[in-house]
């Protein structure tokens, strides 16, 4: 899952980025309204965290613009004031949820998870394909009765494949949703990580779940 954080307070932005990265999200930060709006239009983010008070275009303007462009990406609005007016204008502008700064990171995370889940219409945080299970909240992954330890990038990649189970995901889709802006699209990082995942998910099992689709990408499916 890839998240755009539009926040001009450097300390807060890097705190959010670090925290989200630890949880396996790919994160890009935009420090002003104009670059935030540009990024949000260019990249198919899974969620946008949008501060209201920004240099350049403000958060409310950006939110309205994105909704006008029919961009349905979930938006979590941040504001410094616990002000009912701000909250109402944020929701009126098309934001999906709202959080007042300063906030507790655990609550921030919970809201992000809820918004992403709502958008992927996964009713439960537990994704299942055959005997493979991934819990998006506890981050526990099991195959059969065996627990599988994954790094945060491996987890993010598997989560993305499982959310799209049965459908071919291209390398471009993977790079757009699992990696952030620092990703070098000419590298073979994706193949490397798919191979790591195969070793952990498939190698010891007769029944393989991760399949390559020649010239297209990968698909995770039962058979
Ligand atoms: Ca601000």
What's the pLDDT tens digit per position in 35-44?
999 999 999 9
Under DSSP, is residue 108 helix (H, G, I), strand (E, B) or coil?
A: helix
Q: Do 93 and 138 fall into the same domain?
A: no
Q: Is the pTM of this model over 0.75?
A: yes
pLDDT score, position 122: 66
Domain that holds residue 211: 126-220
Q: Which of 86, 80, 74 is nearest to 111 (CA)?
A: 74
Distance 102 CA to ligand 1 centre (A): 12
Alpha carbon distance 137, 139 (integer Å): 5
Last residue of a domain, one of 75, 102, 119: 119
CA of 67 to the centre of ligand 1 (A): 21
* Rounded distance between C-alpha atoms, residue 200 and residue 40, angstroms: 34
Higher local confidence (pLDDT), 49 or 88: 49
CA of 107 to the centre of ligand 1 (A): 19
- 6 Cα–ligand 1 center, Å: 9
Q: What is the pLDDT of residue 90?
A: 86
- Encode pLDDT of 166-181 as tens digits: 999 999 899 889 988 7
Residues 64 and 82 in one domain: yes
Q: Prior bond to 45 cis, omega within 30?
A: no
Mean pLDDT taken over the chain: 92
108 lies in the same domain as 169: no
| Angle value at C-alpha 207, between 142 and 135, nearest 5 degrees | 20
- Residue 186: its pLDDT value, please? 66
Within this chain, do residues 21 and 102 fall inside the same structural domain, yes or no?
yes
Identify whether residues 57 and 158 lie together within a single domain.
Answer: no
Asked if 87 and 30 sit in the same domain, the reply is yes
Please tell me the distance between residue 1's alpha carbon and the centre of ligand 1 in angstroms: 24
Distance 68 CA to ligand 1 centre (A): 23
Distance 90 CA to ligand 1 centre (A): 14
Alpha carbon of 113 to ligand 1 centroid (Å): 23
Q: How far is the CA of 120 from the centre of ligand 1 (A)?
A: 29
CA 9 to centroid of ligand 1, rounded, Å = 6
Q: Are strands 47-51 and 2-6 parallel, antiparallel or unpaired?
A: parallel
**Model pLDDT, residue 31:** 97
pLDDT band at 188 (very low <50, low <70, confident <90, very high): confident
Cα of 136 vs centre of ligand 1, distance in Å, is 30
Tell me the pLDDT tens digit for each residue of 101-122.
999 999 999 999 989 888 776 6
pLDDT value, residue 183: 77
Distance between Cα 32 and ligand 1 center (Å)? 9
């Amino acid at each position: 899952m890839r998240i755009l954080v539009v926040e001009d307070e450097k300390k807060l932005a890097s705190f959010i980025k670090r925290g989200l990265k630890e949880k396996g999200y790919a994160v890009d930060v935009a420090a002003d309204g104009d670059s935030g709006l540009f990024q949000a239009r260019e990249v198919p983010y899974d969620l946008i965290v949008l501060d209201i008070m920004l240099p350049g275009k403000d958060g409310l303007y950006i939110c309205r613009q994105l909704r006008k462009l029919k961009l349905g990406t979930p938006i979590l609005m941040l504001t410094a004031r616990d002000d009912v007016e701000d909250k109402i204008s944020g929701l009126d502008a098309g934001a999906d949820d709202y959080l007042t700064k300063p906030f507790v990171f655990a609550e921030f995370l919970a809201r992000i998870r809820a918004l992403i889940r709502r958008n992927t219409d996964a009713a439960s945080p537990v994704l299942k394909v055959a005997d493979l299970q991934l819990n998006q909240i506890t981050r526990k992954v099991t195959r059969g009765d065996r627990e599988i330890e994954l790094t945060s990038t491996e987890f993010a990649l598997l989560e993305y494949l499982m959310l799209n189970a049965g459908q071919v995901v291209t390398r471009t889709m993977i790079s757009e949703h699992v990696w952030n802006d620092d990703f070098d699209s000419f590298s073979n990082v994706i193949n490397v990580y798919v191979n790591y995942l195969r070793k952990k998910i498939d190698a010891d099992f007769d029944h393989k779940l991760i399949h390559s689709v020649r010239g297209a990408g990968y698909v995770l499916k039962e058979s």
